[in-house]
Amino acid sequence: MKTTLNKFDEFSRRQFMERVAKTALGVTLLPVGAQVARAAAEGGSAKRVIYLFMEGGMSHIDTFDPKTGATKGASDPVKANAGSGNIDFLGGYMPKLAKQANKLSIIRSMSSKTGVHESGRYIMRTAYEPRGTIVHPSMGAWASHFKGRIEGVTLPDSVTIGNGAHPGAGFFPPALSPIPITNAASGLQNTKSAIGDEMFTKRVALMDEFDTAFRKKFQSDDVKAYTEFYDETMKLLKSKDLGAFDISQEPANVREKYGNSGFGQGCLLARRLVENGVRFVEVQAGGWDMHNNIDTAMTNNGEMLDTAFSALVEDLEAKGMLKDTLVVLGSEFGRTPEINENAGRDHYPLCYSTVFAGGGTKGGFIYGSSDKDGKRVADKQTAPEDFVATIAYAMGLPIGEVVMSPSGRPFTVGHKGVPVKDLFV
């Protein structure tokens, strides 16, 4: 079975396993399988990661690298709060985050080779350029591979929130794929059997009876992994922690603090999930491909990001979780410093920004810089591979350890990237 599954792309493999579960058990839930735990490598103190991904190419000039010259945004930069180190200003659409700038580390010297959406998103999640012959693992899958399941946690190891395409587990077993949540308000769907508890129990018992002889005869790793898939499913379906996926349990004032956008509610769900043991959560926000009327678009998306990101950081700090939870924000590239003929900005991979908070990173810190117009990196150029390697470093993953794919090719987490260790305390 493993040979056949390895021929599928990630979506097909996940879809196959979900269909198996639905046909046999009447559910559509895919948990993350347990892996052999690895000793923590050198790195930061991040036990959990929330990755905020701005799909479409976020304008660095209008957010985290504001300018005052001819290329500046329509909204004047807003001054950061006192004690924010070398962060003086953020874009004018970020007033709430400016008050939390003493908790942020900003890389203003990102530079990528691709200005294509799909490729840019892929490399910012995997550190590898896309290839037709293989799918590379995303960060959640790498963490599950190296660290294994967190002891005593019945929820999945990783979750994605949003509609965007995702590389998932890549060449790792499908069981390491993140659970996809399309809508934060709806939470995790189909956790209850459509055939009733009694029939469900009977089917499970019948399957176990049929499989016993097969398991005894074929004691391979593949068969063990298949059995483990069902064992983990049963644990998860019976878990009291499934309530973590239900944001309606939060007080109304807390839900309002994150904003009414899908992204804001996704950030709230992410906080609930990491609070209950999920290691890696990605929250996606679309609408950043601003070729037209960028001021109007930034008014909407800027407020959405500012409200949700600031609420998330504030919440994690209040709960004592920010010190070991890394919140990281990225996008596939930046946008042109010049405004185009449609009052927008176009794709621009030569210079853009990413942001880190918590997880052992410094607060009020800027790494690298762009030139006065935001057109080129002026100091400490940072590639997407370095960005991914920095996340791996924060989690204490063994960056140099070689892992062989099923096709016999060697890979490492972060690819050839060098972690930006200056970000860490």
**CATH number of the 41-187+246-423 domain:** 3.40.720.10
List Cβ neighbours of 238 (8 Å cut-off, separation of 6 or more): none
pLDDT at 121 over 60: yes
pLDDT category, 27, cuts 50, 70, 90?
very low
Model pLDDT, residue 241: 82
pLDDT at 11 over 50: no
For 215-262, the pLDDT digits (tens) are 677 666 566 655 655 565 556 556 678 999 999 999 999 999 999 999
Model pLDDT, residue 199: 63
- Please tell me what DSSP assigns to residue 141: H
pLDDT at 10 over 50: no
Phi, psi of 329 (to 5 degrees): -120, 130
Q: Report the half-sphere exposure of 80 (CA within 13 A, side-chain side).
A: 24
Written as six digits, the tokens of 170 are 């890549």
The residue with greater pLDDT, 127 or 14, is: 127
Model pLDDT, residue 236: 59
Do residues 24 and 16 touch, judged by C-beta distance below 8 A?
no
Q: How many CB atoms lie within 10 A of CB 109?
A: 25
Model pLDDT, residue 15: 47
Instruction: Specify which residues 335 forms β-bridges with.
Output: 347
Model pLDDT, residue 7: 41
As a whole number, mean pLDDT of residues 334-351 equals: 97
pLDDT category, 419, cuts 50, 70, 90?
very high
Model pLDDT, residue 58: 98
pLDDT at 12 over 60: no
Nearest CA among 97, 74, 58, 142 for reference residue 415: 142
As a whole number, mean pLDDT of residues 207-222 equals: 68
Element holding 53 (H helix, E strand)? strand 48-54
Model pLDDT, residue 138: 97
Query: How, if at all, do strands 158-161 and 280-285 pair?
Result: parallel
| pLDDT > 70 in the chain, percent | 80
pTM of the predicted protein model: 0.85
Question: How does DSSP assign 4-39, residue by residue?
Answer: HHTTS-HHHHHHHHHHHHHHHHS----PPPP-----
pLDDT at 315 over 80: yes
**CB-count burial class (<10 Å; 0-12, 13-18, 19+) for 144:** buried
For 161-206, the pLDDT digits (tens) are 999 889 999 999 888 999 999 999 988 765 555 556 666 566 666 7
The residue with greater pLDDT, 339 or 152, is: 339
pLDDT category, 48, cuts 50, 70, 90?
very high
Please, what is the average pLDDT of the chain? 87
Nearest CA among 345, 407, 312 for reference residue 72: 345
The residue with greater pLDDT, 133 or 208, is: 133
As a whole number, mean pLDDT of residues 122-132 equals: 97
pLDDT category, 348, cuts 50, 70, 90?
very high
Model pLDDT, residue 88: 95
Model pLDDT, residue 70: 87
Range in 83-92, 151-160, 307-316 with the lowest mean pLDDT: 151-160
Model pLDDT, residue 229: 56
pLDDT at 152 over 50: yes
For 262-307, the pLDDT digits (tens) are 999 999 999 999 999 999 999 999 999 999 999 999 999 999 999 9
As a whole number, mean pLDDT of residues 3-25 equals: 44
Domain ranges within the chain, ordered by starting residue: 1-30+192-245, 41-187+246-423
Question: How does DSSP assign 352-414, residue by residue?
Answer: EEEEEEETTB-SSEEESEE-TTSSSEEES-B-HHHHHHHHHHHTT--TT--EE-TTS-EE-TT
Model pLDDT, residue 214: 73
